[in-house]
Every structure is written in C-alpha cells, then in structure tokens.
A and B are shown apart, each in its own frame.
Chain A
Amino acid sequence: MKIAVCVKQVPDTTEVRLDPKTNTLIREGVPSMVNPNDKAALEVALRLKDADSAITVTAVCMGPPQADVALREALAMGCDSATLISAREFGGSDTYATAAIIAAELKRKDFDLIITGRQAIDGETAQVGPQTAERLGIPQVSYAEDIQLKEKSVVVRRRYEDCIHMIEAPLPCLITVLPEIATPRYMTVRGTVRAYATEVPVVTFEDLKSHLNPDWIGLKGSPTSVVKLFNKQVKGKGTLLTGLSEDEAVSAIVRKLDELAII
C-alpha cells in the first residue's frame, strides 16, 4: 500500500510579514518549519507503516526550492521517499491552483491513501486537502481524529464541534487530520543521515504539464484575490458581573443571552 502525506513548509514565527503589493507572504529571511498539522499527518502515516511493513510513505511538498528542508525532516522521521513540487510557473498559486498542481502529481503515482494536515498555520484555510481530493475525484474525510485501515477502506473518526462521525470510505481516498490525532515523533540521528543520502526528486511544470492546464496555475490560475490582510482587532471588554452567587450568576448570564437573542 502506498500512502502520500502532503506537507507544507510554513514560517516559524507568529509575526509573518506580508508583501504590501501582492498581499502574499514574504518568506525570505523567515525561519521555516514543517506545518505542525502536517507533522501529525506524517506521524499517523508512519504509525500505519510501523504496523504493516508493506506500507510505504511518501512525503509530498509544493514550495520554493528551500522547501526541500521540510522533506528532509519528513525523511528523517521515517518516510520512505519524498517529492518536491517546485517551479517558477507555480509561484503565486492560491489554494485552488495549488490543489490542481498537487493533484496532478499525486495522480501520476497511484497512491492508495493521501493524508494531509487539516490546515496550515500561515494561511489557515483548510482548503488544499479537500480541493485536492475534488481534483482527484476521490472521497475525502476531513477533521480526522482516528484512522483505522482496512483492506480496501478506511474507517475514520471525524470530530466536529458538537458530534463525532464514524465514516467508512473506500480507498483511494484523502483524509485531513486534526493535530490531536498523534504527537509527531522526533527525527532520529540515523534518519537525518538517511535523509540526506536519499534523493529528493523535484517535479517541475514540464513533468506535470500533460496533466495541467496552464491557466489553472500560478497567480493567473488563482481565483482568490487578497484585498487586505490585517490583525484581528480585539473587541470591547464585555460586561463583568461581580458579587453574585453561583445561582445568581447563572441567571444573570442566561438573562443577558436571552436579551441579546443569542438563546
């Protein structure tokens, strides 16, 4: 069985800088790391591999050439192979275009299962995973907090805010996982050595062009146009009720919520 894990390299800081002209992230000079949700996805895949030696895990990343480092980390954690999707033509892609490109690469390799993190800490859209599944025309299950692998299907526990769904999906399919699903393992020393002894192929536009319409990719293939990015303003202080007993506090809160037509 072949599992692919899609990983993204993200800035390792909460203070991201933006290009005022394009409203996209400035990546130069910012330390980077593997997106934490995607590390959880790697861990889930590696646990499946630990339990069944017939499983291979490939890490796939789209990004600039320096995203190679993220894939070396995935290899050092225990992935069998890694692929970097990188080309000038792909620059400026939004989630829609990115999904088209990643799907084109995944389609070439016939993966049985694709696992991604729920979302990345930079964009926080949670769109690329589901959009990739749509592009591939395969089932998708998002917000997974547990995955059980069967012979030709997966059983996924999907966590919503107010309920849990148990979903069985046929393979191949794509699953996006919550970070709580697994604490990522450390790299190992031997893994770091192996990571740089392993060739990480770079897939370019040339390699994918038979599967890709040039109008789908890059800035011009991206329907998303970011008008403005700004920090969320903290709203008013709220109302503080003091000097109430527990029962009085409950009544007061319920009354207020009722007044505001929230309940």
Chain B
Amino acid sequence: MDFTLSKQHQLQQQLYRNFAQTEIKPLASEMDEAEEFSQELLQKMQAVGLFGIPYSAEYGGGGGDTLSYALCMEEVSKVDASSGITISVHTSLCCYCINEYGNEEQKQKYLRPLVDGGKIGCYSLTEPGAGSDVAGAVSTAVLDGDEYVINGAKVFTTNSGFADVFVVFAITDREKGARGMSAFIVEKGMPGLSVSPSIPRMGIRAASNCIVTYDGVRVPAQNRLAREGDGFKVAMTALDAGRIGIGAQAVGIAQGALDEAIKYVKERKQFGKPISAFQNTQFVIAEMQTKIDAARLMVHRAAVAKDKKEPIGSHAAMAKLFASDVANEVTRAAVQLMGGYGFAREYSVERMMRDAKVTEIYEGTSEVMKMVISGIMKIK
C-alpha cells in the first residue's frame, strides 16, 4: 500500500493546480455574481484537456485515470465548485454513459468530440417528480419506425444551457418499472428540444442548471444507448462512478475554504496578537484538516478501486457521504474563523459555504448514499 501519488499524478496535479489558480480563481467570484459560466474559460479548460481526462487517447481523450480526474476535481473545486461540477457532469456522467455503453459508431460520433475538447455534454435524468426515486420518471420514448419520439421534462440538468450532447433517460415500457427505462443521445438543435434559463440557486451559481423540455423530439433509433430497458442500469452505474468526482469536489471546496481561513487567521490581529495564536483557532484548523485528509483518502481509495476495476459502489458512496459532510462542516468553520469578513461577499468562503451544500444533494443525496452503503452491507 502506497499513499504517495505517482510522479505522473504529481505532474498532473501541478497542471490542474496551476491552471485553476491562474485561470479559474480570478473569475470565480465574478461568475458566481453573474450566475453565468464564462465560455472563454470553458474553452481554455477544454484546450488543456480537462474535459476528457479518464478517457482513452484512442478516442481523443487524455488517457489518464480516475485518480487523475479526482485530482483535477479537487484542484478546480478548491477555487470554484461551479467549474468542478461543469467538468464532472460532462466527464463522469455524460461521457461515462457513452464510453461504457455506446457502440463504436456512437463513440466515434459523440464520445470523440466530447473528450477531445470540442463539445460539452450533459446528463438529463432528474424530473420534477422523480429525484431520488429515479424509476418514478414519467418521460417517455416511443419507437416510431426507425426513430424514437421523446416527450417529457427534466429538471436540474447541469450544463444543459450550453451542452451540445444530451444523454437523456425515458420510459420505453411503463409496465416494466425500472427495467422499462432506456437511454438516448440527443443533440442540441434537434426539433422539440428546449432549455430554460438557469434555475436560480443557492450555490454553484455559475454552473448552467436548467429545465430541459423534450416535446416530441425525434431521435434516430441508433442513438439509443445499450438495449431497450437498460436505461436504469446505465443511469445508476454512471452515478456510482460520478460520486467519486463529487467526493473530490467536496474535498476541494473544503480545502479551498480552509486555505483561505488559514491565510486570514495569520494576518488578522485581535487582542494584540494574530488570531492564529489562539488555541481555539489552532484546534479548529487541526480538526478540519484531519477531516479533509480522511475524506481525501476515501476519495482516492474509491478512485484507485475504479482504476483497478474493483467494485466501487460502497467506496464511492462512503467517500461522497463523508466528504460532502466534511465540506459543509469545514466551510462553516472557515466562515466562523473569519467572522464578519467570512460572511462578507468580498471573501470567497461564503461562496464556498453556499456551494458545499449541494454536494450533499446531487448525484444521490446523503440519505441515498446511506441506502446504497447499508444495501451493500445487506442490512435489511
């Protein structure tokens, strides 16, 4: 067992850190206030390869692994969680489905431009009436000749405002419940596809997150991913793997907030000394860093397991459950350490505290994580 990153991972971490600190950090607050993601930044992120890290170079991807992707998620989310989720939904949900379940033709047509930095993808699963209860979806896809006709509405679809490729889930056979769901690849611009303006939210405000309406969208039958009825499995395995990215994002948010607080407590003087000289400050920081390290180790364990093709369900769910909790606790502590300045919008920790909340909600709530973990433990 070795807890040291390989030289290659260290070099990748250097790239992610340098890029995030130089290109993303200066824009984070501005994008949050504007509630809009910079398309110029998006292109820069694509150019260095942040949108195809764990996919084969054969399809134009980075040729890296899940651990490298997790390192990227952490470094990016340290400075901006919105940039993190933009990468994550594209990479570990949209691209994952096509890479894992797509046929060669689908990979050439859709995966290649997604992972080589040409296009952006999203993942359209959650519906107004179907959140944690994924199988409760009511969107439908009906085969009509050699086309499926998709009808329905999806909500909270991250990246949908500027995505080129939509992986969407719809019911093809109502009778079969979860086994009656299928997955499809829909392209931007297909008639009947419409995307609302971004939904106003508490955090990750720069990310695009909209209602997507499918009003009689006709997609060629060859755009179905896997077999008819495999949709639930496609959706769930993507989410299983995606949780590693959200865990890494949560670690990043927490470390980013703690780093800001540490800088502050060394400079801030009260009662004649820097507040870092007070034992309360020292203890809070020691506790927070310990929890972040524990969360990071759990994320890395899940990432390495995925790279070794070992089962990840439990590792990934535990990593997300724990890391998202840590992110909320640490950001809250960071705001508290910084007092009024932590609460002020001028400093970034209030944004990080708002951003942290969603890590307990999306890609499976903390409650769903507990269902997954106890289920794998066969606790009935």
Which A residues are within 8 Å of any B CB, using their own CB?
A: 69, 72-73, 76, 186-196
- Whether the pair A186, B7 counts as a contact (CB closer than 8 A) is no
Confirm or deny: B50 has a beta carbon within 8 angstroms of a beta carbon on chain A: yes
B60-77 CB mask vs A (1 if < 8 Å, else 0) is 011110001000100000
Give A193's nearest chain B residue, CB to CB: B63
Q: If A72-B7, A193-B8 touch, does A186 touch B57 (CB 8 Å cutoff)?
A: no
In the bound complex, what is the Cα–Cα distance between A121 and B180 (angstroms)?
Answer: 64
- Whether the pair A189, B12 counts as a contact (CB closer than 8 A) is yes
In the complex, 7 of the A-B residue pairs with CB atoms within 8 angstroms, ordered by the A residue number, are: A76-B11, A187-B15, A189-B50, A189-B64, A189-B72, A193-B63, A196-B11
Give A187's nearest chain B residue, CB to CB: B15
Residues on A with beta carbons closer than 8 Å to the beta carbon of B57: 190, 193
Q: If A69-B7, A72-B7, A196-B7 touch, does A189 touch B52 (CB 8 Å cutoff)?
A: yes
What is the minimal beta-carbon distance from B56 to any residue of chain A, in angstroms? 10
Most A CB contacts (10 A, CB to CB) among B10, B14, B52, B68 go to B14
Confirm or deny: B19 has a beta carbon within 8 angstroms of a beta carbon on chain A: yes
Q: Please list the 4 inter-chain residue pairs (A to B) with the smallest Cβ-Cβ separation, ordered nearest first.
A: A189-B49, A189-B62, A193-B63, A196-B8
Interface of A is mostly: helix
- Whether the pair A76, B63 counts as a contact (CB closer than 8 A) is no
In the bound complex, what is the Cα–Cα distance between A76 and B61 (angstroms)?
Answer: 15
Confirm or deny: B48 has a beta carbon within 8 angstroms of a beta carbon on chain A: yes
Confirm or deny: B53 has a beta carbon within 8 angstroms of a beta carbon on chain A: yes
Residues on B with beta carbons closer than 8 Å to the beta carbon of A196: 7-8, 11
What is the minimal beta-carbon distance from B26 to any residue of chain A, in angstroms? 15
In the bound complex, what is the Cα–Cα distance between A73 and B12 (angstroms)?
Answer: 10
Give B68's nearest chain A residue, CB to CB: A189
- Whether the pair B19, A186 counts as a contact (CB closer than 8 A) is yes
Confirm or deny: B18 has a beta carbon within 8 angstroms of a beta carbon on chain A: yes
- Whether the pair A192, B19 counts as a contact (CB closer than 8 A) is no
Residues on B with beta carbons closer than 8 Å to the beta carbon of A192: 8, 11-12, 15, 64
Q: Beyond A189-B15, A189-B49, A195-B11: 16 further Cβ-contacts under 8 Å?
A: A69-B11, A72-B8, A73-B14, A186-B18, A186-B48, A187-B11, A187-B15, A188-B47, A189-B53, A189-B63, A189-B68, A189-B72, A190-B63, A192-B11, A193-B8, A193-B63
Residues on B with beta carbons closer than 8 Å to the beta carbon of A189: 12, 15, 48-50, 52-53, 62-64, 68, 72
- Whether the pair B48, A193 counts as a contact (CB closer than 8 A) is no
Give B19's nearest chain A residue, CB to CB: A186
In the bound complex, what is the Cα–Cα distance between A188 and B50 (angstroms)?
Answer: 8
In the bound complex, what is the Cα–Cα distance between A73 and B68 (angstroms)?
Answer: 16
Tally inter-chain residue pairs, CB-CB below 8 A.
58
Q: Which residues 2-34 in B have Cβ within 8 Å of A in the complex?
A: 7-8, 10-12, 14-15, 18-19
Residues on B with beta carbons closer than 8 Å to the beta carbon of A72: 7-8, 11
In the bound complex, what is the Cα–Cα distance between A186 and B12 (angstroms)?
Answer: 11
Residues on A with beta carbons closer than 8 Å to the beta carbon of B62: 188-190, 193
In the bound complex, what is the Cα–Cα distance between A69 and B10 (angstroms)?
Answer: 10
Residues on A with beta carbons closer than 8 Å to the beta carbon of B49: 188-191
In the bound complex, what is the Cα–Cα distance between A196 and B62 (angstroms)?
Answer: 13
Residues on B with beta carbons closer than 8 Å to the beta carbon of A191: 49
Residues on A with beta carbons closer than 8 Å to the beta carbon of B64: 189, 192-193
Residues on A with beta carbons closer than 8 Å to the beta carbon of B50: 189
In the bound complex, what is the Cα–Cα distance between A187 and B10 (angstroms)?
Answer: 13
Give A188's nearest chain B residue, CB to CB: B49
In the bound complex, what is the Cα–Cα distance between A192 and B64 (angstroms)?
Answer: 9
Residues on B with beta carbons closer than 8 Å to the beta carbon of A73: 11, 14
Residues on B with beta carbons closer than 8 Å to the beta carbon of A187: 11, 14-15, 48
- Whether the pair B63, A186 counts as a contact (CB closer than 8 A) is no
What is the minimal beta-carbon distance from A39 to any residue of chain B, in angstroms? 11
In the bound complex, what is the Cα–Cα distance between A192 and B19 (angstroms)?
Answer: 14
Give B23's nearest chain A residue, CB to CB: A186
Residues on B with beta carbons closer than 8 Å to the beta carbon of A186: 15, 18-19, 47-48
Residues on A with beta carbons closer than 8 Å to the beta carbon of B8: 72, 192-193, 195-196
Residues on A with beta carbons closer than 8 Å to the beta carbon of B15: 76, 186-189, 192
In the bound complex, what is the Cα–Cα distance between A207 and B72 (angstroms)?
Answer: 40
Most A CB contacts (10 A, CB to CB) among B10, B12, B52, B57 go to B12
B314-354 CB mask vs A (1 if < 8 Å, else 0) is 00000000000000000000000000000000000000000
Give B61's nearest chain A residue, CB to CB: A190
In the bound complex, what is the Cα–Cα distance between A241 and B143 (angstroms)?
Answer: 86
Most B CB contacts (10 A, CB to CB) among A187, A192, A196 go to A192
Residues on B with beta carbons closer than 8 Å to the beta carbon of A69: 7, 10-11
In the bound complex, what is the Cα–Cα distance between A196 and B7 (angstroms)?
Answer: 8
In the bound complex, what is the Cα–Cα distance between A187 and B18 (angstroms)?
Answer: 10
B106-130 CB mask vs A (1 if < 8 Å, else 0) is 0000000000000000000000000
What is the minimal beta-carbon distance from B252 to any residue of chain A, in angstroms? 17
In the bound complex, what is the Cα–Cα distance between A186 and B48 (angstroms)?
Answer: 7
